[in-house]
Structure 1
Amino acid sequence: MKIHHFKTNESGLNRFFGALEAKIMDILWDGAEKSIKDVQQKLEREQEKLVNFNTVMTVMNRLVAKGVLKKRLEGRSFAYSPVLSKEQFIDTQSKELTHELIEEFGPLVVSHMLDALEEADTELMEKLEQKIKQLKKET
């Protein structure tokens, strides 16, 4: 699944999703399958205000259409769950974004990524060194 709109002016999941979509995904990543009603009630508790059932249903079904959620019939309603764990989703999207940036801007992106490492912790730098050594061995 590829998220087509990455928002640089946002943070966290809001870079990939609208505000309500991100809240719904967080709720679904937090546990077992949930119905629209379950998600609506959880949103109401978190926001301390009423949330329209039809709005939640529309957003959840859009997330299914985007390939982020899956649904299965359970009795007379549907149970929804994420296709990927939150960690898998972030890994997949960051990998896709990195490949697109490198494909489009090449060495410039790599240079900026290396510049950003000045702010990185030592553990991340060591992982990068190990990865570069591994890549050199494979070529």
Structure 2
Amino acid sequence: MNDEQAQAAATPARLLGELEAAIMRVIWQHGEQRVRDVWLRLQPERPLAYTTVMTVMRRLAEKGLLLVRKEGPAYHYRAAMPPQEFVTRRAEAAVQQVLSDFGDVALAAFVRALDEVDPARLDRLRQMAGLERPPRETGEEHAS
């Protein structure tokens, strides 16, 4: 998998159901919303029942993706985390599940896969993981 394929794979839309992804896209783009606000924004492309949107938003809150507060008779929903944090958390949970299920066999598979990754991409991955290495030696001595 190259960098472009990896980035395309790492989207909330690939990790959520179609309607869940559409609702989260509205929340991420527009901030805190009432069910009615989301329902109205979805109508041009997706004529849905209000109760369908309400049910899915309630379930997204139960899953921890939305935070809810009540103001008068209306419930206001906002994202519990930005989209990239959601993707990161899902990836971390998936890796932990694979490691739990397969242990060292999974780790060996990861090592084999990493052995085929371009060094520049490995450097970017180390940065993403907070495991930055010092700059590579170029033959010059560096002052400490």
With the length of structure 2 as denominator, give the TM-score of the two structures.
Answer: 0.70
Hey, what does 2:75 align to over in structure 1? 78
What runs of 5+ residues in structure 1 fail to find an aligned partner?
1-9, 135-139
2-side partners of 1:41 and 1:119: how far apart? 48
Contact 2:123–2:132 (8 Å) recurs in 1: no
Percent sequence identity over aligned pairs: 29
Taking the aligned partners of 1:59 and 1:82, their CA distance within structure 2 comes to: 14
Structure 2 unaligned regions, length at least 5: 1-8, 135-144
Matched residues in 1 for 2:118 and 2:37: separation?
40
Compared CA separation, residues 132 and 61, structure 1 to 2 (3 A): same
Residue type at the aligned position of 2:27: L
Alignment partner of 1:126 out of 117, 123, 128: 123
Cα pair distance change 1:112/1:65, threshold 3 Å: same
SS of the equivalent of 1:30 reads: helix
Larger Rg: 2
Tell me which protein shows more helix as a share of its residues: 1
Which of structure 1's runs of 4+ aligned residues deviate more than 4 A?
118-121, 127-130
Q: CA RMSD in A?
A: 2.8
Q: TM-score, normalised by structure 1?
A: 0.72
**1:5-34 deviation digits (Å, cap 9, x = unpaired):** xxxxx9843553221111111211123101
Q: 2:37 aligns to what?
A: 38
How many positions carry a matched residue from both structures?
123
Q: Give SS of 1:57's match.
A: helix
- Trace 1:1-139 onto structure 2 (pairs within 5 A): 12-45=11-44, 47=45, 49-117=46-114, 120-127=117-124, 131=131
